[in-house]
Amino acid sequence: MNARHKWKLIGVALILVSRLSCAESYHTGEAGKGPAALRFATAQAAARDGDYESAMQGYARLMLDEPDNVDYIFGYAQALYWSGDLAHSIQFLEQARRLAPGYEDIWQLEYRARLGRTGDETNRDLETFRDQALRRFPGAEWLRQDPLAKEPAFSWHVRARRDNLDNGSPDWQVLDAFLERRLSSRSHLSLSANRTDRFGASDTNGGVGIATTLGKSWFGSLTGTFSSSPEFLPRDTVKLGLGRKFQHGWVASARWEERDYDQQNVVLTGLTAERYLDAYRLAYTISNSRLDSETAWVHGFAVDRYAPSGFQIGLAAFRGEEIDNVALDELAKTEVWSIVLKGRIPLSEYLGLGWQLGVHEQGDLYRRNFIEVSVFGGL
């Protein structure tokens, strides 16, 4: 008998004895909720610290009081999974999934656990499970990727873009670099550097940002960019983003952005609704920009297709009004429309290429035809 099975037998006996002596204190209305919450937090902390035996013992006691509590069952299954006991983890995940069929984190962990097992019968079960998960979560990224693959600690991209203006003005150019550091499974820190040429002048800026998941369904981001002596770009920009995932592939997000120019500030807000359907993403965005008493609205539509290999192609179109620099030190509201065709091509596990082709019309001032190429990867 190995140590894990011996602990299970001893643990069950101890739990039964302790429950007989402590049953009254665990079932005293509001007074009983505090200890349960504390024990739940203690079990979670033990699991995070790698003490899976203590975590399982804590979750087991909690499940004796509330055998249908999905959080307790899921926590016990997580501890089993992290300890390497995939078979028993799957049993408890199946139980949790029956109680909460819309809880996506349960499906994702069960998919990982099933992937970690081998054998013909196991492979057939995995395909059946994956088909069920795709029907319930058609836009789930974790079903299009190998969840056992190690996420790189760093990701990066380098981008070059050139815009040709039809009014005879010099071409615009953009060169930028982006580096992201994974702080944990939930949060990422990013750094950026940019050089932009427009109107015969050049601007440079740098930025820093953080993105994180908030609980089971929420995610958010905060980004700031700064320039010491800008000619046409904002002196500084602050961006806030907040979003939430829903069932059946729906995602909603909102953003707020303030651009601080030398003389004036422009405030932008936006709302985006996305729907993931199998290998497709459909999105609608409405954005508003304000400068003093001026207000402008833009509507955008996008569709993307993802392949299991990581190849992506998409088309986006925007139409409305925007407030932006149309010349050096000249902010103005103009009618705009644009169409963009884009794609990403993975070359290896840690390297890929991206591209964009598009046209953007800035009222009666000019039309920009642009091409963009990028290289991205992980370390």
CA 193 – CA 234 distance, rounded (Å): 14
Longest dimension (CA), the chain: 87
- Written as one letter, the residue type at 237 is T
CATH architecture assigned to 3-143: Alpha Horseshoe (1.25)
Quote the percentage of the chain above a pLDDT of 70.
Answer: 86
CB 295 within 8 A of CB 321: no
- Written as one letter, the residue type at 68 is D
Between 262 and 294, the more confident residue is 294
Using 50, 70 and 90 to split pLDDT, how confident is the model at 196?
Answer: very high
CA 338 – CA 269 distance, rounded (Å): 19
CB 68 within 8 A of CB 96: no
CA 176 – CA 259 distance, rounded (Å): 19
- pLDDT per position as a tens digit, 25-36: 333 233 234 588
3-state secondary structure of 133: helix
pLDDT, averaged across the chain: 84
| The domain defined by 154-378 carries CATH number 2.40.160.10 | yes
Burial of 78 (0-12, 13-18, 19+ CB in 10 A): buried
- Mean pLDDT within 75-87: 89
CA 199 – CA 170 distance, rounded (Å): 7
Q: How many CB atoms lie within 10 A of CB 146?
A: 10
CB 276 within 8 A of CB 140: yes
Q: Is the pTM of this model over 0.85?
A: no
* Residue 246 pLDDT exceeds 90: no
- Domain limits, the chain: 3-143, 154-378
- Mean pLDDT within 5-17: 45
* Residue 224: predicted pLDDT: 97
- pLDDT per position as a tens digit, 207-233: 999 999 887 678 999 999 999 889 888
Strands 154-165 and 366-378, sheet pairing: antiparallel
- pLDDT per position as a tens digit, 133-191: 888 887 777 876 554 455 678 999 999 999 999 998 899 999 999 999 988 767 899 99
| Element housing 325 (H / E) | strand 312-327
- pLDDT per position as a tens digit, 335-361: 999 999 999 998 987 899 999 999 999
